[in-house]
Amino acid sequence: MKKPTIELKSTEFTEIIELERTFTPDKEKRVDHVFVRRRKICKRHPEGFATEEYARFDIAWPEEVKEEIKEDIQEEITVNS
């Protein structure tokens, strides 16, 4: 089961500024590793209190469409009586 990834967004209380975003594909696991560095600024603080945070998450690749190969298999059964 996949978990949805929820990105932080600016609100009336905080401002989110994305500083860096790096994608690294992983062919074995079929995902993209995403590393995000962002600054979060508190608007309600008189001095504009700011923190820097890091987030890492994975984005799964879409499933490949697999074509089923149907072969007609015929077996002959011989019974010795």
CB atoms within 10 A of CB 37: 13
* Those residues with Cβ within 8 angstroms of residue 11's Cβ, 6 or more apart along the chain or in another chain: none
From 22, 26, 21, select the one nearest 60 (Cα to Cα): 26
Calculate the average pLDDT of the chain: 84
Residues 29 and 11: beta-carbon distance below 8 Å: no
For the question of whether the overall pTM of this predicted structure is more than 0.75, the answer is no
pLDDT at 17: 93
Tell me how far apart the alpha carbons of residues 59 and 69 are, in angstroms, rounded to a whole number. Answer: 30
- Beta bridge mates, 60: 31
pLDDT at 35: 93
Q: What letter does residue 43 receive in the DSSP assignment?
A: S
pLDDT at 81: 64
